[in-house]
């Protein structure tokens, strides 16, 4: 999508699209000029926002919100000019960067490879009241980081926001499923070419199954519209099925819909899982992409449950608000209840159409994931064999999944000895590739320049976490045996591994410091006591006992051999190993 004129935008929620991209020539010139600009390296979420701003998916926004729009959106769900807009679109940066900026200054916004996607003309910078934002935008449970957007706000977003207009140089490059990627303008043109003027869009962040096919078929027939399968593929809820797998699933699903009445277009949006507010945002976006109708099912864009087990939003909150604002937004809502399978009729139907006493079935996302992890079949009534096969290709059963076994404990606690014994037992067992990342060995090869300050120790654990996460991602077992004295860095390593699709097992080798001192196999405690070694863990540097260990090992009463068996038994119990050669005691 290219435009030779300056950015423009027309009436709010009309049919006009903002186009922030300048011509190729202008982009080249600006790139040269930008050598003198400060640079901001965009986060993955910010890259999604920039793409949606540049391609007009966020019309009528012209850039990242300034303080006045932001405040008004948080409080009233409207931009300061009164246009309905429910979600703040802000550029969060760290304090140091924010402080270096002056009003009117231009900054280069770069993607992960350093490519300049856009220039931002700084209009505003401010320190937001995050508590207030969470409360106003995400509602009840606004201090609960189980909500992905609240977690992002408190734990990932920078302290400051920078607002200003964007000048688009180029859209982020995508190499995957390119035949299913359209800008709003391109999709509108495509609909025109197909002669479609009634289009019902279906938003999804999950694989689709028989229930969803029934739902879109009903929606299409009710509205006499063609179907747009419009999956969010930017960022969704952590732990969701990756978009590559989902796209392969949608390509199977589209074959189940009447030929030439349905198509797939990927939406590069970063979801916030904001339930009622998010549904309005989705409607604005779909209108921009040319849809005339929008399916809103049960718990639309719901983040799941709060830490106390109660839902963040009620299942039909989003439907209610969608219907309330549909007219203003200029897109019709097609509400749907949850679809369930009625064996008696061998059909899917809305749950309210099931007569009392009639049996019905459904499989929740959690149960689906559990079935896949255990390598169990997905029933025919639930999904198509082609879809099941795609999911099984991605979701290895547990005995094929990557695992990190992360030993932590004081120097001399016995971590390396137990980890070594475990490695040998795993190799004897067979069927798994095993890598040992021992504390001393890592320090020799991976972290040779690091010392033992808190900062260096955390960096060391970060590196171990990174390598372990790569091993786990490729289905291997990583055994790590550093001291890892700080809870936060152990948690960070856990996150790195699990975010990469691996499993993480924390094993606390809980030998008391007095015992380690008594054993003192390397003579380090003696040196630490005399002050020869400074900042020694357990003597002159802290060790934070883990409260989140999956296993705690008692080296006072059991040998390394027995303790390695204990870990092995745990791995078998949890399904990470098939069969075992260890005899039960
Ligand atoms: S950390 O804190 O996790 O980064 O430590 P780690 O990489 O496991 O390194 C621990 C090994 O380094 C030796 N050593 C020290 N340990 C603790 N504190 C200080 N100041 C220190 N200086 C050297 C020690 O041999 C540790 O090995 P293990 O196998 O744990 O005894």
Give me the phi and psi of 259, to 5 degrees please: -55, 145
pLDDT of residue 371: 87
Counting ligand 1 atoms within 8 A of each CB, the residue from 452, 454, 540 with the most, and so the one to mutate, is 452
User: Residue 218's Cα: distance from chain center in Å?
Assistant: 31
Counting ligand 1 atoms within 8 A of each CB, the residue from 409, 464, 483, 534 with the most, and so the one to mutate, is 483
Contact 398, 371 (CB under 8 A): no
- Check whether 199 has a pLDDT greater than 50: yes
- Nearest CA, atom 28, ligand 1: 411
pLDDT of residue 441: 84
Lowest mean pLDDT among 125-129, 315-319, 366-370, 415-419: 366-370
Higher-scoring residue by pLDDT: 343, 369: 343
Q: How far, in Å, is the centroid of ligand 1 from the Cα of 471? A: 23
Active site members = 204-206
- Nearest CA, atom 9, ligand 1: 439
Q: How far, in Å, is the centroid of ligand 1 from the Cα of 484? A: 9
At 583, the pLDDT band (50, 70, 90 cuts) reads very low
pLDDT of residue 227: 98
- Nearest CA, atom 31, ligand 1: 411
At 397, the pLDDT band (50, 70, 90 cuts) reads confident
Give me the phi and psi of 163, to 5 degrees please: -115, 155
Burial code (b: 16+ CB inside 10 Å, e: under 16) for 289-306 equals bbbbbbbbbbbbbbbbeb
- For 452-474, what is each residue's pLDDT tens digit? 999 999 999 999 999 999 999 89
Q: How far, in Å, is the centroid of ligand 1 from the Cα of 276? A: 50
pLDDT of residue 13: 59
| Whole-number average pLDDT of the chain | 93
| Strand pairing category for 503-509 and 403-408 | parallel
- Check whether 582 has a pLDDT greater than 60: no
- Check whether 147 has a pLDDT greater than 60: yes
Share of the chain above pLDDT 90, in %: 83
Torsion, Cα 238 241 242 246, to 10 degrees, reads: -140
pLDDT of residue 262: 98
- Check whether 249 has a pLDDT greater than 80: yes
- For 487-502, what is each residue's pLDDT tens digit? 999 999 999 999 888 8
The token pair that represents 542 in the structure block = 């802290």
Q: How far apart are CA 5 and CA 37, in angstroms?
A: 23
pLDDT of residue 337: 84
Share of the chain above pLDDT 70, in %: 96
CB within 6 Å of ligand 1 — which residues? Answer: 411-412, 416, 439-440, 443, 452, 457, 460-461, 482-485, 522, 524, 533, 535-537, 541
pLDDT of residue 578: 81
The token pair that represents 66 in the structure block = 């300034």
């Amino acid at each position: 999508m290219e435009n030779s004129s300056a950015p423009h935008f027309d009436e709010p929620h009309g049919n006009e699209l903002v186009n922030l991209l300048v011509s190729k020539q202008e982009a080249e010139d600006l790139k040269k000029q930008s050598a003198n600009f400060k640079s901001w390296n965009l986060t993955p979420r910010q890259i999604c926002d920039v793409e949606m701003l540049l391609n007009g998916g966020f019309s009528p926004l012209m850039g990242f919100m300034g303080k006045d729009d932001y405040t008004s959106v948080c409080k009233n769900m409207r931009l300061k000019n009164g246009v309905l807009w429910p979600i703040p679109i802000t550029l969060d940066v760290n304090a140091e960067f924010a402080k270096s900026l002056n009003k009117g200054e231009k900054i280069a916004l770069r993607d992960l490879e350093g490519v300049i996607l856009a220039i931002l003309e700084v209009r505003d910078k401010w320190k937001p009241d995050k508590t207030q934002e969470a409360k106003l935008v995400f509602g009840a449970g606004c201090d609960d980081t189980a909500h992905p957007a609240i977690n992002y706000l408190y734990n990932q977003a920078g302290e400051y926001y920078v607002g200003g207009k964007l000048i688009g140089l180029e859209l982020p490059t995508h190499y995957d499923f390119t035949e299913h990627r359209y800008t709003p303008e391109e999709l509108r043109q495509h609909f025109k070419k197909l002669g479609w003027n009634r289009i019902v869009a279906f938003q999804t962040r999950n694989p689709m199954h028989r229930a969803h096919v029934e739902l879109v078929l009903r929606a299409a027939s009710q509205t006499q519209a063609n179907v747009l399968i419009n999956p969010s593929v930017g960022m969704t809820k952590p732990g969701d099925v990756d978009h590559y797998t989902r796209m392969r699933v949608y390509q199977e699903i589209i074959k189940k819909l009447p030929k030439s009445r349905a198509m797939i277009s990927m939406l590069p949006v970063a979801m916030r899982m904001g339930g009622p507010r998010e549904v309005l945002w989705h409607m604005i976006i779909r209108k921009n992409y040319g849809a005339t109708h929008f399916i809103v099912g049960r718990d639309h864009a719901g983040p799941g449950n709060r830490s106390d087990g109660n839902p963040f939003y009620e299942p039909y909150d989003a439907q209610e608000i969608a219907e309330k604002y549909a007219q203003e937004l200029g897109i019709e809502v097609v509400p749907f209840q949850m679809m369930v399978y009625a064996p008696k009729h061998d059909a899917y139907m809305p749950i309210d159409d099931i007569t009392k006493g009639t049996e019905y079935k459904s499989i929740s996302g959690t149960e689906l994931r559990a079935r896949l992890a255990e390598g169990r079949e997905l029933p025919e009534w639930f999904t198509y064999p082609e879809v099941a096969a795609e999911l099984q290709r991605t979701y290895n059963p547990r005995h094929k999944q990557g695992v990190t076994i992360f030993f932590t404990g004081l120097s001399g606690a016995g971590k390396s000895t137990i980890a070594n014994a475990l490695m040998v037992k795993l190799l004897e067992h067979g069927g798994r590739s095993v890598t040992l990342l021992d504390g001393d060995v890592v320090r020799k090869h991976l972290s040779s320049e690091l010392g033992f300050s808190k900062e260096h120790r955390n960096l060391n654990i970060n590196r171990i976490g990174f390598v372990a996460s790569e091993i786990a991602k490729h289905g291997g077992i990583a055994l790590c045996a550093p001291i890892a004295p700080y809870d936060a860095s152990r948690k960070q390593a856990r996150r790195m591994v699990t975010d990469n699709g691996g499993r993480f097992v924390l094993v606390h080798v809980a030998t008391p410091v007095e015992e380690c001192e008594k054993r003192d196999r390397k003579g380090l405690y003696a040196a630490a006591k005399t002050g020869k070694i400074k900042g020694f863990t357990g003597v002159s540097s802290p060790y934070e006992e883990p409260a989140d260990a999956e296993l705690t090992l008692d080296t006072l009463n059991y040998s390394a051999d027995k303790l390695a068996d204990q870990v092995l038994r745990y791995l078998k119990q949890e399904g990470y190993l098939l069969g075992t050669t260890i005899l039960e005691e």
